[in-house]
Amino acid sequence: MLLDNISDFLNDCGYDLEQEIIRISGVINVNAFSTVKSEFQGRDCVRIVQCIYPWASLLAHSCVPNACWSIDNTKELRISIRAATTIKKGEIITIAYNLPETMSGTLHRLISTEDVAHFLCRCKRCSDKTELGTFASAIKCFDCENGYLLPESPTTPDSEWECCGCDSLQAVPKIVLFLNNIEETYENITRRQYSRDIEVKKLELLLRQTGDLLHENHYILQEFRMRIINLQIHSLDHVNETDLERFINHCKFMLKIADVLMPGFSKTRALLQFFLSQGLLRKVSRKTQDPEENEKEIADLYKEIHYLQTRALLYFNNQHSFSLRSEAESNQFAVCIKRQLKNLESYIN
């Protein structure tokens, strides 16, 4: 497609650079950091940009990276690389080439990295069929009640899937079709213009139904939970006690998985810490209105909220954003947390 777009120009100039153009295109495709740059010029202007950074391009990929990257919203498009976890001397520094993919299952990530970066990932997560003990791709066996299907060779996309209970084998096309049907049901719900409350109810029902088909940590169920969290975060003041407790449990559940798959300094963990703190704030607010509530339990909740918010603030205070919209979002989170922390200190002290 690229050659088709510029072939007339090259022919007019008398240049035969077809192979050189293909090579350069490959270098950009494999090594570039893709992002969206937003500007405000009387209206929102959004540009998709691909940036080449000589040193940053040398960093290795991992689906559980020990470092993270961001590009600032300046005309220079400066990139920042910072440690996400403790990196020992001599340890390879790794980043996620496509950050949103890190919450997907291994098969999905393998296909994506091969398609975009032209390699099959063999990081510690991809090489472990249980994905570091999370079972994020595990499917309940079609032939027995207690076993889970996992790929025999996790770094081979067309590997058969074997049950850890009865040893039955399933071909990849059957696995993909099974998962696609669930994803299609989910997309049919999210595409409809339901009210937030109705969509949450439908997603909660789907979560319960598919929970009998997939491991509880499955990446598709994580997708359901994150959608529910993002829908309910705007109306926590109005949800009943049961829905509030369910929201809190979703946040805790997702944070536990993120601690393994996206450890340390990561946007996913920071957002979940913030969301969980908001749920707990509503919970403690309701408890303080009841004179019979245990004071120690309330004090412990305040301490938990304080911890979650201070950890989330570390991310939002130090995160460069590559668009005005995401930069404003990070600033909003930081301002909100600082205001709430100021109020919390009087209760803790």
Average the pLDDT over 203-208 and give the result. Answer: 98
Specify the pLDDT at position 324: 45
Residues in CB range of 217: below 8 A, 6 or more apart = 134, 135, 136, 138, 257
Specify the pLDDT at position 347: 72
Which tops the pLDDT comparison, 327 or 336?
Answer: 336
Q: Residues 13-26: pLDDT tens digits?
A: 656 667 777 788 77
Q: Residues 87-129: pLDDT tens digits?
A: 999 999 999 988 888 889 999 999 988 887 788 999 999 999 9
Residues in CB range of 245: below 8 A, 6 or more apart = 283
SS3 for the chain is: CHHHHHHHHHHHHCCCCHHHHHHHHHHHHHHCEEEEEEEECCCEEEEEEEECCCCHHHCEECCCCCEEEEECCCCCCCEEEEECCCCCCCCCCEECCCHHHHHCCHHHHHHHHHHHCCCCCCCCCCCCCCCCCCCCCCEECCCCCCCEEEECCCCCCCCCEEECCCCCEECHHHHHHHHHHHHHHHHHHHHCCCCHHHHHHHHHHHHHHHCCCECCCCHHHHHHHHHHHHHHHHHHHHCCHHHHHHHHHHHHHHHHHHHHHCCCCCHHHHHHHHHHHHHHHHHHHHHHCCCCCCHHHHHHHHHHHHHHHHHHHHHHHHCCCCCHHHHHHHHHHHHHHHHHHHHHHHHHC
Q: Which two tokens stand for residue 31?
A: 């090594």
Specify the pLDDT at position 39: 59
Out of 2-16, 129-143, 186-200, 284-298, least confident range:
2-16
For the entire predicted model, the pTM comes to 0.87
User: Is the per-residue pLDDT at 211 higher than 90?
Assistant: yes
Q: Residues 284-311: pLDDT tens digits?
A: 999 888 776 778 888 899 999 999 999 9
Which tops the pLDDT comparison, 143 or 45?
Answer: 143
d(CA 93, CA 248): 34
By percentage, how much of the chain surpasses pLDDT 90?
61
Specify the pLDDT at position 7: 62
For the chain, give every domain's residue range. 1-25
